[in-house]
């Protein structure tokens, strides 16, 4: 996958040299280029922002440097790309979106700062390429750079060859729509706290059922919205008993055989 990131703070993206994302780059699985938006400015002050039309606090990113940057990065002969714009008004990022982005041949990330990018940049880009405005959740950041770090880490680990162990991808949280059970390692006793007996039993059937129950209990208390999204036929009788014991209202239709 080829990725371009355009930002006024290229140094914010240096963590992408580290860890497994850095290894994916060195392995040639991820081809990443970070660009300074100011290199597409024309004036001596390298201005990227101005006051908002209609008034209000803060500054807005001017369209001209963004237009020049996107023109150059999408010039004829370059591979077609999807533009990804992190913004609190975007479509909510989740594992399903990470999976869709992971199969794109090329992504261009546009990092906004201040109150955002002049909307005409998004409108114009939409006439030339697929565009996704992405939000990480209902909170405010100074700019899109850290959101790009999050999105790229989620996407990179889904690129074939990046994760050694293929099984770990579908066993993890969200693969079955539930949060995962707690995990433990040695020692078996630590500061008076014990590893649950079932995990040391060697009984793989019991262990799988225990993990399912723990995942259900966590999900119902911490993320009831995820339970509500699951199809009723995904729950067996034991699941329904666990959900009811946790105080979750299971409808009569869900309980039908």
Contact residues: ligand 5OB, CB under 6 A: 86-88, 112, 135-137, 139-141, 143-144, 147
Q: How is residue 182 annotated by DSSP?
A: P
Q: Residue 90: name the closest of 65, 69, 112, 114 by CA.
A: 112
* Complex with ligand 5OB: residue 142 or 190, whichever CB lies closer: 142
Q: d(Cα 189, Cα 6) in Å, to the nearest integer?
A: 50
Compute the least distance from the CB of residue 149 to ligand 5OB, in Å: 11
Shortest Å distance, C-beta 165 to ligand 5OB: 30
Closer by beta carbon to ligand 5OB, 137 or else 182: 137
Alpha-carbon span 97 to 90, nearest angstrom: 12
Q: Rounded to the nearest 10 degrees, how much is the dihedral formed by the CA atoms of 184, 190, 193, 195?
A: 30
On whether the CB atoms of residues 209 and 238 are closer than 8 A, the answer is yes
Which residue's CB is nearer to ligand 5OB, number 92 or number 206? 92
Q: Which is nearer to ligand 5OB, 132 or 173 (CB)?
A: 132
The full 3-state SS of 123-153, as one line of letters, equals: HHHHCCCCEEEEECCCCCCCECHHHHHHHHH
Contact (Cβ atoms closer than 8 angstroms) between residue 84 and residue 110: yes
User: Would you say 58 or 80 has its CB closer to ligand 5OB?
Assistant: 58
Min. distance of Cβ 136 from ligand 5OB in angstroms? 4
CB of 34 vs ligand 5OB, minimal distance in Å: 17
**DSSP-derived 3-state class of residue 6:** strand
Report in angstroms how near the CB of residue 142 gets to ligand 5OB at its nearest.
7
């Amino acid at each position: 996958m080829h990725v371009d990131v355009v930002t006024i703070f290229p140094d914010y993206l240096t963590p992408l040299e580290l860890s497994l994302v850095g290894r994916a780059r060195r392995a040639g699985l991820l081809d990443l280029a970070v660009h300074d938006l100011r290199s597409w400015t024309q004036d001596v002050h390298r201005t990227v922002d101005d006051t908002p039309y209609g008034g209000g606090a803060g500054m807005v990113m001017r369209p001209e440097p963004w237009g020049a940057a996107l023109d150059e990065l999408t010039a004829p002969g370059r591979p077609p790309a999807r533009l990804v714009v992190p913004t609190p008004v975007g479509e909510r990022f989740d594992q399903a979106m990470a999976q869709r982005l992971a199969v794109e041949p090329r992504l261009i990330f546009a990092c906004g700062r201040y109150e955002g990018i002049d909307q005409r940049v998004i409108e114009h880009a939409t006439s030339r390429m697929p565009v996704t405005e992405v939000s990480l959740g209902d909170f405010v950041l100074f700019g899109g750079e850290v959101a790009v770090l999050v999105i790229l880490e989620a996407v990179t680990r889904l690129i074939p060859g990046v994760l050694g162990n293929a099984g770990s991808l579908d066993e993890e949280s969200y693969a079955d729509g539930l949060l995962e059970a707690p995990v433990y390692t040695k020692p078996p006793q630590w500061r008076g706290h014990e590893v649950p007996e079932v995990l040391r039993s060697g009984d793989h059937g019991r262990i799988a059922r225990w993990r399912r129950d723990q995942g259900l209990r966590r999900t119902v208390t911490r993320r009831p919205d995820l339970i509500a999204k699951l199809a009723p036929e995904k729950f067996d009788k034991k699941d329904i008993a666990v959900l009811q014991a946790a105080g979750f209202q299971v409808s009569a239709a869900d309980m039908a055989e």
